[in-house]
Amino acid sequence: MMKQAVSVLLLLGIILEITGVAAIQLRFMPDPPTLNTYGTHRMNKSDNLDLTCRGRQRLLWSTPPTSTRLSTSDCSGSGLFCLTLTITNATVNETGQYQCYYKDLKVEDGKTAAGIYVFVHDSKVPFVPSEKEYEVVFIREGERVVIPCRGSVENLNVTLNTNYPIKEIHPDGKDSVWDPKKGFILPTHLISYAGVVSCQTRIKNETFKSPLYIVAVVGYKIYDLTLTPVHQRLSVGERLVLSCTAHTELNVGIEFNWTHSGGALNLGSGFHTVSHKKKLWDSLELSNTLIVENVTVDHSGDFTCTASSGQMEKSASAYLTVFGGCTENILLHNVILIKKSQEMDQGGSNSLV
Ligand SMILES: *[C@@H]1O[C@H](CO)[C@@H](O)[C@H](O)[C@H]1NC(C)=O
Ligand SMILES: *[C@@H]1O[C@H](CO)[C@@H](O)[C@H](O)[C@H]1NC(C)=O
Ligand SMILES: *[C@@H]1O[C@H](CO)[C@@H](O)[C@H](O)[C@H]1NC(C)=O
Ligand SMILES: *[C@@H]1O[C@H](CO)[C@@H](O)[C@H](O)[C@H]1NC(C)=O
Ligand SMILES: *[C@@H]1O[C@H](CO)[C@@H](O)[C@H](O)[C@H]1NC(C)=O
Ligand SMILES: *[C@@H]1O[C@H](CO)[C@@H](O)[C@H](O)[C@H]1NC(C)=O
Ligand SMILES: *[C@@H]1O[C@H](CO)[C@@H](O)[C@H](O)[C@H]1NC(C)=O
């Protein structure tokens, strides 16, 4: 009997402990916010829409960059935070992704955030306008590119048009597709020659064009990186010149970064750099030279140059030894001391050995 009572108590204790742990976890990771409507919402232009979000912590809404006809109101109550986003007299510009998230937590859809996609139908404006007059789309070889001509309506037959040469690309439904929420998605090689592209669609007899997109091909490959000279010995007051040189494919931009003995190198405190760019036949030579006019003993150590093209990074290292007048004196002094003690050893007792 006693034993049973004890084990029941133990069990109870364990259960209490588990629920306690669960409660703590709940406090740190609340349930995701809830919305009054999910998925995709379709509305006509000039209509209004209320999106209500409830949750256990303070809430915020993120909205499409082009949207302006918005207002929020607090609807908190019965122990829950609540924030209503109202779209008034909607236009195509209000088309896009709306996301409600906990203000103080990392945004993760389904965990700390909930979203809905809104289409505002306007048969006169089938493509969502751009924020800017034109947009630049950077493309890289061997990838798929998204030309962000989003739609205000879903079921459109959209083509991608290039002007030089005049060409019309139809989605094949596999490699190239038009997704009204994202835009025209296709392999880069289909448009890498084109400077400017736009999406087009026909509604009844009328042709509509999306904003223009400028296509810029960018490279990223760094073939090699060298830092020279690899090992250098200088005396205090001499000039240090370290050249970091990268060979890359064309259309690559490089950011150079230096570290000294593992720490960030503070440019300006005696260090300065000079950059050069040279176009070779089918590659680029980009260099960044680190210069110190008067080296000191503190400049001794490892230098590492890192070149980054965004998608690729390479590093190279070199070692510098600086001999100072002061250090030389100490060295000399030590040598004399050692000599003296050796003489003493030879002349006197062996007690020091
Ligand atoms: C949008 O307007 C059309 C007619 O212009 C109507 O048939 C349709 O039901 C409306 N849709 C919504 C979601 O109100
Ligand atoms: C809605 O916006 C249009 C312009 O886009 C304007 O002409 C109209 O008066 C607005 N309607 C209301 C009710 O504010
Ligand atoms: C939509 O946004 C674009 C760019 O910000 C602007 O030029 C245009 O006038 C807006 N359209 C409406 C209906 O508000
Ligand atoms: C899109 O094109 C297909 C085939 O050409 C046609 O059957 C369909 O009706 C078109 N859809 C629209 C919305 O124009
Ligand atoms: C569309 O074009 C055809 C032929 O060009 C014409 O017969 C028809 O009237 C046009 N329809 C509209 C709505 O403009
Ligand atoms: C350059 O170095 C700084 C400081 O170490 C670092 O914060 C930064 O991310 C580096 N940039 C690149 C492109 O490596
Ligand atoms: C370098 O040291 C020399 C002699 O100490 C001094 O005259 C000169 O101004 C220094 N140069 C720089 C750039 O600090």
Nearest to 195, CA basis, from 214, 174, 178, 220: 214
As a residue count, the chain comes to 353
Mean pLDDT, range 308-318, rounded to an integer: 92
Ligand 5 neighbourhood includes 132 CB (under 6 angstroms) = no
User: What residues does each domain of the chain span?
Assistant: 34-121, 135-217, 222-326
Rounded CA gap, 285 and 246, in Å?
6
Is the pLDDT reported for residue 276 higher than 80?
Answer: yes
Mean pLDDT computed over 32-45? 93
Q: Is the CB of 207 under 6 A from ligand 5?
A: no
pLDDT, tens digit, 9 for 90 and up, residues 140-167? 877 889 999 999 999 999 999 988 788 9
Pocket (CB within 6 angstroms of ligand 2):
46, 89, 91
Residue 28 has pLDDT above 80, yes or no: no
Task: List, chain by chain if needed, residues with CB within 6 Å of any ligand 7 atom.
Answer: 237, 293-294
Which of 96-100, 107-111, 128-132, 343-347 is the most confident on average?
96-100
In order, the DSSP letters of 1-68 are -HHHHHHHHHHHHHHHHHHHHHHHHHHHSPPPPEESS-EEEEEETT--EEEEEEESS-EEEE--TT--
User: Rounded to the nearest whole angstrom, what is the distance from the C-alpha of residue 334 to the centroid of ligand 2?
Assistant: 90
Pairing of strands 240-248, 284-292: antiparallel
Q: What is the pLDDT of residue 330?
A: 46
Record: fold of 34-121: Immunoglobulin-like (2.60.40)
Which of 271, 294, 298 is the pocket-test mutation for ligand 7 (most atoms within 8 Å of CB)? 294
DSSP percent split of the chain into helix, strand, coil, nearest 5: 15, 45, 40
Whether 205 is in the pocket of ligand 5, judged by its Cβ within 6 Å, is: yes
Q: What pLDDT was estimated at residue 332?
A: 45
Distance CA 29, CA 112 (A): 8
Q: 221-244: per-residue pLDDT in tens?
A: 999 999 999 999 999 999 999 999
Q: Are 176 and 169 spatial neighbours (Cβ–Cβ below 8 Å)?
A: yes
Summarised one tens digit per residue, pLDDT across range 48-104 is 999 999 999 999 999 999 899 999 999 998 889 999 999 999 999 999 999 999 988
Please give the average per-residue pLDDT across 279-285, as a whole number: 91
Q: What span, in angstroms and rounded, lies between the C-alpha atoms of 244 and 227?
A: 4
Please tell me the distance from the alpha carbon of residue 214 to that of residue 138, in angstroms, as a whole number: 8
6-20 pLDDT, tens digit per residue, is 444 444 444 444 444
The pLDDT score that the predictor gives to residue 139 is: 86
What is the reported pTM? Answer: 0.65
Domain 135-217 has CATH 2.60.40.10: yes
pLDDT of residue 347: 42
pLDDT digits over 247-275, tens only?
Answer: 999 888 899 999 999 888 877 778 899 99
Pairing of strands 59-62, 96-102: antiparallel
| pLDDT recorded at residue 325 | 61
Please check whether the domain covering 222-326 is classified as CATH 3.30.70.260.
Answer: no
Q: Which of 100-109, 239-248, 278-287, 326-335 has the lowest mean pLDDT?
A: 326-335
Whether 324 has a pLDDT exceeding 90, the answer reads: no
Report the mean per-residue pLDDT for the chain.
84
Contact 147, 184 (CB under 8 A): yes
pLDDT at 131 over 50: yes
Residue nearest atom 7 of ligand 5, based on CA coordinates? 205
What CA–CA distance (Å, rounded) separates 288 from 284? Answer: 13
Mean pLDDT of 167-181: 94
Would you state the pLDDT for residue 326? 54
Q: Which atom of ligand 6 is found nearest the CA of 308?
A: 13
Q: Which protein residue has the closest C-alpha to ligand 7 atom 1? A: 294
Question: Considering every ligand atom, which ligand is closest to the CA of 267?
Answer: 6
Residues 223, 258: Cα–Cα separation, whole Å: 19
Mean pLDDT for 283-301 is: 93
Mutate to test the pocket of ligand 2, among 89, 122, 152 (most ligand atoms within 8 A of CB): 89
CA of 178 to the centre of ligand 4 (A): 13
**Could you check whether 34-121 and 222-326 share the same CATH topology?**
yes
Q: Is the pLDDT of residue 333 over 50?
A: no
Atom of ligand 1 nearest to the CA of 42: 13
